[in-house]
Amino acid sequence: MTATYKKHILQFKQPSGTSRGILTQKETWFIVIANNNKRGIGECGILRGLSIDDRPDFEDKLHWVCQNIHFGLDNLLVELDEFPAIQFGLEMAFLSLESKDEFVLFPSEFTNGEASILINGLIWMGTKAFMKQQIKSKIEAGFSCIKLKIGAIDFKTEIELLRTIRKEFSVKDIELRVDANGAFSPTEALEKLKILSEFDLHSIEQPIKQGKFEEMARLCEQTPLPIALDEELIGVSSVTKKEELLQNINPQYIILKPSLVGGFKRSKEWIKIAEKQHIKWWITSALESNIGLNAIAQWTYTLNNKMPQGLGTGSLFTNNFVSPLQVKKGTLRYEPKQKWNLNF
C-alpha cells in the first residue's frame, strides 16, 4: 500500500463575506491511497483561521501519514487528534479504497439517483443590495430554507433585510437560519437575539465566539431563539470532553462539519451524545471541493435526518471538479450517469 498527497487551491467565483473576513480562495489537500491496482481518494480541507490544524506543520503531518500508511486507518487516526482535517481525509480515502466505485462510499437510494437531500440556500455577507439579490435568486431556485451570514455589516441593515424577507415570505413559505460566526459580544448578544427572534427564525449559529463556555451556557438558557453550536465543537476530541461541553452549555442544536471535527466516526460520537441529551443536529460542509462534499452528502443521507442540511456549497468555485452532485429546487441530488473529471 502506498499513499501520496496533492494540494489544490479552490477559487471562489466571487468574494464571499463572513464575520471573519472575505474569502477569495480555499486551500484543500487530497490524499490518494493505492493498493492492488485500486485507488482511494480523500480530501483534507482546512479553513485558515478556523481549523485547529491551520498550523505550519500541516503538510509535514500529511507527508508523515503518507510515509506510514502501512500502519492502517485505526492506528493513524489515534496519532491525528490535533489534525481533524487529515483524520477526515484519511477515513474517506480508506472508505474509497474499499468501495466498489471509488466515488460511491455509502451506496443508497441517493447514489442510485432515486432520492435527494433537502438543503439550505447560503446567503453570503455583503451590501444590502447584494444580499437581497442572493435571497431573490435562492427563492426563485426553489429553496424552502435560507441561511444568512450575519455580523459583518451594520446590524440595523441586517434587521431590515430580515424584515423585508418576512414581509414577503412567512415562516410557512421560507425557513430562515442565521449564522453569526461568533460576531456578537457576550454583553450585547442576548439583546440582539431578542430582536432577531421577532422574525420567526429557525436558529442562530454561534452567536458569540467559541471558548466562552459560561456566557454561551447562559445565552442558551435565556435565549428566545434556538442556538446552534458550530465552531464551539472544533478541537474537542475526547468523548468525555464532548459530553461535558454539551451538558454544560446545553444548546438547542449542534452543527457538524466532518472536516473540522475529525471525520465520520467522530461526528457520530457528537450525534450519539447530542441525542442522549435531546439536542438536535444537522450536517454542514466546510467548503470542500466536490470530492469531499460527495462523501459528506452520501454519509449524511444514511443518517436519515429530514432537516435541511448545509450541503449546497459545490457551486461556489470556478475550478471545482465536475461531479454527479446537482442542486435542484432546494435539494442536492446525485446523477449516476454524470462522470467525474479528475486530473489526478
Write down the pTM of the prediction: 0.95
pLDDT at 20 over 90: no
> pLDDT tens, 192-224?
999 999 999 999 999 999 999 999 999 999 999
Residue 330 has pLDDT above 80, yes or no: yes
Highest mean pLDDT: which range of 131-135, 160-164, 329-333: 329-333
- Of the given ranges (43-52, 69-78, 247-256, 266-275), which has the lowest mean pLDDT? 43-52
pLDDT at 286 over 60: yes
Asked if the model's pLDDT at residue 126 lies above 80, the reply is: no
Annotated active-site residue in 61, 138, 149, 242: 149
Give residue 194's pLDDT: 97
Mean pLDDT of the region 49-58: 92
pLDDT for 17 equals 65
At 124, the pLDDT band (50, 70, 90 cuts) reads: confident
Residues 160-166, mean pLDDT to the nearest whole number? 90
Q: What is the mean pLDDT of the chain?
A: 94
Instruction: Compute the average pLDDT of residues 297-320.
Output: 95
Q: Is the confidence at residue 125, as pLDDT, over 80?
A: no
Q: What is the 3-state secondary structure (H, E, C) of the chain?
A: CEEEEEEEEEEEEEEEEECCEEEEEEEEEEEEEEECCEEEEEEEECCCCCCCCCCCCHHHHHHHHHHCHHHCHHHHHHCCCCCHHHHHHHHHHHHHHHCCCCCCCCCCCCCCCCCCEEECEEECECCHHHHHHHHHHHHHCCCCEEEEECCCCCHHHHHHHHHHHHHHCCCCCCEEEEECCCECCHHHHHHHHHHHHHHCCCEEECCECCCCHHHHHHHHHHCCCCEEECHHHCCCCCHHHHHHHHHHHCCCEEEECHHHHCCHHHHHHHHHHHHHCCCEEEEECCCCCHHHHHHHHHHHHHHCCCCCEECCCHHHECCCCCCCEEEECCEEEECCCCCCCCCC
The residue annotated as part of the active site, out of 26, 209, 242, 257, is: 257
Is the model's pLDDT at 90 over the cut of 70?
Answer: yes
Structural domains in the chain plus CATH codes: 2-98 (3.30.390.10), 117-334 (3.20.20.120)
pLDDT of residue 18: 64
Band (154; pLDDT cuts 50, 70, 90): confident
**Residue 73: is its pLDDT beyond 60?**
yes
pLDDT score, position 15:
77
The pLDDT of residue 152 is 73
pLDDT at 1 over 60: yes
Residue 257 known to be catalytic: yes
Task: Examine the pLDDT at 34 and tell me if it is beyond 90.
Answer: yes
- The predicted model gives 177-182 an average pLDDT of 93
pLDDT of residue 132: 84
High-pLDDT (> 70) share of the chain, %: 99
Q: Provide the pLDDT confidence category of residue 168 given band limits of 50, 70 and 90.
A: confident
138 is catalytic: no
